[in-house]
Structure 1
Amino acid sequence: MAWMAWTTPTAIFFAVIACLLLVFTFLAIRFPETPRIGLLRIETTRGDRLFISLLGSAFLCLGWLAAFGSPLWGALICCLIYAAAVFRWV
């Protein structure tokens, strides 16, 4: 893995994603849910909403970098608000 730039932020990012997947797997086993129809008028489960929020957050961060550059603290706040909205209304 020497070819990859493993920095502390990169390791934290992948660790958080792995923990999210483990938590959502546990929730799916412990508390099964039925899909619900939200604002997008498609059936979504917790995992679907997680995927939508991660994908949207990636685009928000790219847009932030294009508009403002780094640091990404403002983008992180926008992503957290976006994820909360996705889990609430989608």
Structure 2
Amino acid sequence: MINNERNNKMSIHQHAMLSNIQKLQFAVLDLALFLDTHPNDLVALYRHNEYATQLKQYREAYEAQYGPMCIMTADTSDTWRYINSPWPWEM
């Protein structure tokens, strides 16, 4: 049996962290697209940098507590923890 029972039991804290990460990812991407057509907009640039910094902090905190979010993230544990997280369709 694969860890389905454990995967489906995401804590409220973990779910909230993922939700914040998704919101910040959207904002960073949206602002990056806006900056492609408005490169001199200082407010958009400031917000992009602010949100990108927050996103980095949230991702680092999430990965420190729950393991890597994607296969491109280095995992410092002694096991492959990426498969322990719920798949997107399991959330």
User: Structure 2-normalised TM-score?
Assistant: 0.37
Structure that is richer in strand per residue = 1
Relative CO higher for 1 or 2, CA cutoff 8 Å, sep ≥ 6?
A: 2
User: Structure 1-normalised TM-score?
Assistant: 0.37
